[in-house]
Amino acid sequence: MEYAVGRTGRIIAARLFEGEDLYESIEQIAVKEDVTSAAVLIIGGFRKANVVVGPERETPEIVPRFMDFTGPGEVLGVGTIYRDDKGPKLHLHTAIGKGGDNLVGCPRDDTKTFLILEVTIIEIEGIKARRKHDEKTGLNLLRFE
């Protein structure tokens, strides 16, 4: 286990509108506000999402299994923002529902907002952490400096 202790910095509240992209919008805020470490909460709706729901294969590298969500539907999620070599990167897990159908997982690129998505970014100050490429898994994993 690795860990670091920090403190709460700024709190950023945002509202995404119909059709706006989840990752693009949140990462734009992180760039503009120079957020390097944060916790992220979301609540609202998704129009569509491509969701990782576990691995198709674990070795030699992890290959994700995807499921499409076609909404509109309700969503709540929790995640983090940490930088990699290219800038701030959002990692988010969500519970998405439409009627009696539910999907839990990690939405990826091209996740679109339905009507409104409320976003709260809670900045973490005083820790040095980054996402770094892990040869074993092929993923960019959180590391403390």
Considering the domain boundaries, does residue 102 fall inside one?
A: yes
Domain-embedded: residue 2: no
Domain annotation covers residue 1:
no
In whole angstroms, give the CA distance from residue 113 to residue 111: 7
Whether 81 is covered by a domain: the verdict is yes
pLDDT in tens, 99-117: 999 999 999 989 999 999 9
pLDDT (tens digit, 9 = 90+) per residue, 21-46? 999 999 999 999 999 999 999 999 99
| Number of domains into which the chain is organized | 1
Q: Would 123 be classed as within a structural domain?
A: yes
Q: Give domain status of residue 109, yes or no.
A: yes
Rounded to whole angstroms, the Cα distance separating 133 from 35 reads 20
6 closest CA partner among 32, 39, 42: 39
145, part of any domain: no
Per-residue pLDDT, 84: 96
57-71, 83-97, 107-121: segment of lowest average pLDDT: 57-71
Sign of the four-CA dihedral 42, 43, 44, 45: positive
Strands annotated E in the chain: 7-17, 37-57, 63-84, 87-98, 101-107, 112-125, 129-133, 140-144
pTM of the entire predicted model = 0.95
47: domain CATH number is 3.30.1330.80
Q: Answer yes or no: is 91 within a domain.
A: yes
Domain that holds residue 103: 7-140
Q: Is 83 exposed, middle or buried (0-12, 13-18, 19+ CB in 10 A)?
A: middle
Query: Following DSSP, what letter does each residue of 83-114 receive, concatenated?
Result: EETTEEEEEEEEEEEETTEEEEEEE-SS-EEE
